């Protein structure tokens, strides 16, 4: 789909080549206040997760592009080897630390996700996150996540050696309204990402949206959401790829219809402004209906 749109942020978050692959295989041991995990693991199952954003289909609302595009990340569709340590410092404060293989490769050279490589050329990804939760009656009303990452793979760009790249991100989730009597709820989320290296493709990212449930008394489990994602290209990226615009913006409107306990469908419309920052590419309207089956 993105081949037709030409977008940078990837409008469909499950878009991938057709392969049979081993996505994740890991072992986790949990202690009283901390846990240890080792194996092939999806970074985005622990780090940089906007809980409300997971209701949307554009990739940026699941893993923001200042992470997914600035380094080879251990995320869908290619996870790689890593070690993750999680700490529960209190009921409201959580910390996570991880180190991953610095390059999972691409789908063509690693179609089954079985090509494990640990070498100096790949480098490593080191990521840390602290999360603050504010609860009322054991319900999380607000959550704030602050993360920092460093990627150590050597890169030659324009005959210049770069030994690392890094950045920071911030995510917040809020339960704004909840009426237990009629099932009405309103949630919001926000994302901010900043590059600390001038040669990263994305210099900054800003995203956020709202999720509404329970406003139809006959379909209280259905949800309606609107969200906006804005990725800003670095001056380095603009000069290399002759990008005409400084940013790409995606606006998404989606509806999640619960059919029964196993089936649901999700009509989705997105408007992409300045796809990949290229003036020669027209703004695009994308629509799809996603069917979900869970058991």
Q: Which residue has the tokens 């991100």?
A: 169
Taking the CA of residue 139 as centre, how many other CA atoms within 13 Å lie in the half-sphere pointing to its CB?
A: 12
CB-CB contact of 166 with 191 (8 Å): no
Cα 247 from chain centre: 18
Q: Dump pLDDT digits (tens) for 178-218.
A: 988 888 999 999 999 999 988 899 999 999 999 999 988 88
Q: Between 46 and 237, name the one with better pLDDT.
A: 46
Q: What average pLDDT does range 112-116 have in this prediction?
A: 83
Q: Dump pLDDT digits (tens) for 20-77.
A: 889 999 999 999 999 999 999 999 999 999 999 999 999 999 999 999 999 999 999 9
pLDDT, residue 188, reads 98
Please name the residues in contact with 119: beta carbons below 8 A apart, sequence gap of 6 or more: none
pLDDT, residue 120, reads 80
Report how many domains make up the chain: 1
Share of the chain above pLDDT 70, in %: 100
| Nearest partner of 50 among 38, 70, 64, judged by Cα | 64
pLDDT, residue 207, reads 98
**Where in the sequence is the domain holding 28, given as residue range(s)?**
2-293
pLDDT, residue 245, reads 83
| Nearest partner of 49 among 133, 152, 166, judged by Cα | 133
pTM of the model: 0.93
Rg (CA), the chain: 20
| Nearest partner of 82 among 19, 123, 44, 38, judged by Cα | 38
Tell me the CATH number at 185: 2.40.160.180
30-61 in b/e burial notation, b at 16+ Cβ within 10 A? eeeeeeebeebbbbbebbbbbebbebbbbbbb
Mean pLDDT of the chain: 92
pLDDT, residue 155, reads 77
Residue 236 φ then ψ, to 5°: -65, -50
């Amino acid at each position: 789909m993105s081949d037709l749109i030409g977008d940078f942020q990837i409008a469909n978050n499950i878009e991938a080549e057709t392969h049979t692959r081993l996505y994740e295989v890991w072992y986790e041991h949990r202690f009283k206040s901390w846990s240890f995990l080792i194996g092939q693991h999806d970074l985005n199952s622990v780090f940089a997760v906007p809980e409300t954003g997971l209701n949307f289909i554009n990739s940026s609302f699941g893993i923001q592009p200042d992470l997914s595009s600035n380094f080879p990340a251990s995320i869908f569709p290619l996870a790689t080897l890593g070690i993750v340590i999680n700490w529960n410092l209190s009921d409201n404060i959580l910390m996570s630390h991880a180190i991953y293989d610095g390059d999972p490769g691409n789908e063509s050279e690693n179609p089954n996700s079985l090509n494990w490589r640990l070498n100096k050329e790949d480098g490593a990804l080191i990521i840390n996150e602290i999360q603050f939760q504010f609860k009322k009656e054991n319900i999380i009303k607000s959550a704030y996540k602050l993360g920092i990452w460093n990627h150590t793979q050597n890169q030659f760009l324009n005959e210049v050696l770069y030994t690392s790249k890094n950045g920071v991100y911030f995510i917040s989730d809020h339960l704004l309204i909840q009426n237990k009597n009629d099932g009405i709820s309103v949630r919001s989320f926000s994302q901010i990402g900043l590059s600390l290296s001038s040669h990263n493709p994305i210099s900054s990212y800003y995203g956020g949206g709202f999720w509404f449930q329970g406003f139809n008394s006959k379909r209280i489990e259905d949800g309606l959401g609107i969200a906006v994602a804005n990725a800003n290209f670095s001056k380095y990226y603009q000069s290399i790829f002759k990008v005409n615009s400084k940013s790409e913006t995606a606006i998404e409107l989606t509806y999640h219809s619960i059919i029964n306990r196993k089936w649901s469908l999700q009509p989705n419309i997105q408007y992409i402004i300045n796809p990949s920052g290229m003036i020669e590419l027209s703004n695009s309207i994308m629509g799809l209906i996603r069917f979900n089956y869970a058991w």
